[in-house]
Amino acid sequence: MLIGYARVSTADQNPDHQIDALLRAGVERDNIHLDAASGAKASRPNLDLVLRLLREGDTLKVTRLDRLSRSVLHLVTLGAELRERGVGLHVIEQGIDTATMEGRAMFGMLSVLAELQRELIVANTNDGLAAARARGRVGGRRPRLTADQAALAQQLYDERDKTVQQIADLFGVPRSTVYGHLTTETVPRQPKKPRPDTPAGAA
């Protein structure tokens, strides 16, 4: 089965160009799913629906990579998930088709670049933390994450690679800082632990 996905950044934008391209690529209109959300927004309900609908042997079609993914890291993660499930990916306007050797090679290169980006962000973060410790910088204003660090934190959280506490430890910030940068739609709030001195069954 061919399943199409389209995205516009706002409800005011016209998705007809994407829909027409998907129709020409053989996707039936009933199998085209549209989100109106910015690329930075982690939660896109119709993309989530598409990923649930896809089965082994199906092909996901989009017009361009930026319609599907908000970052290279997210794209590679999604591409790897589709490959593991036996689902093809065809990016119409950019000529990427994972059913072909060339298309798989393109995703391989993206994967290398994404891993390099990830390692550089972590290395730069660790260097900055080491420099701050060397200068004895403690206390003061609550630390914030850079845009790259926030993107990596979201990626690690979405992939379930690390807990929020582990992500906070990686960047040397409180857990509340990490929560403040994660997309709220994807973050389940953790139940509060009972105080040790609270009697069982107490309100």
Active site residues: 9
Cβ proximity of 136 and 164 under 8 Å:
no
Q: Distance between CA 96 and CA 104 in Å, rounded?
A: 8
Cβ proximity of 36 and 13 under 8 Å:
yes
**What is 60-81 written as a DSSP string?**
EEES-HHHH-SSHHHHHHHHHH
Longest dimension (CA), the chain: 66
